[in-house]
Amino acid sequence: MNNLVPISGIVIIYEILFLILYQNGLLNNISNREDLISWAVLPNIFIISVLYLVNCPLKLNTKIIVTIIKTILLVLILRLSITRLSFKHFILGSLILLTYFMISNINNVYNCKINNMELIYSFILSSILYGYVYLMR
């Protein structure tokens, strides 16, 4: 059971590594490389939603810093020509979020009592925003 590592940290590190590898051309030989990054759009939106919809005593500075980092990474990912938004990538991002929440003790990771309904509301909002971005692309 994960008691220490927040999903935002995992996703941020993964995205930065992907962007570095992509910019250096080290992913050019991979045929389905869009699958390596497209799944991360939903978790990005979800993490930003959770920051503001979950009632946790988090400093405003921390919220702002995480929001800025997540927004920059989200914009960089969406600007990549290989990023594809699809139902398949939405389901994959959802499964990754679900797996994380199944193997993690969320209350210990974030040091607060998180209500499951707050997570559901965050997921619903994230899904709506994902759909909006999908339609606008």
- Could you give the 3-state DSSP secondary structure of residue 128? helix
Who's near 73: CB < 8 A, 6+ residues apart?
12, 15, 16, 19, 44
Please give the pLDDT value at position 126: 97
State pLDDT tens for residues 53-99: 988 888 889 889 989 999 999 999 999 888 999 999 999 999 999 99
Question: Is residue 33's pLDDT more than 90?
Answer: no
* Domain spans, the chain: 7-16+38-136
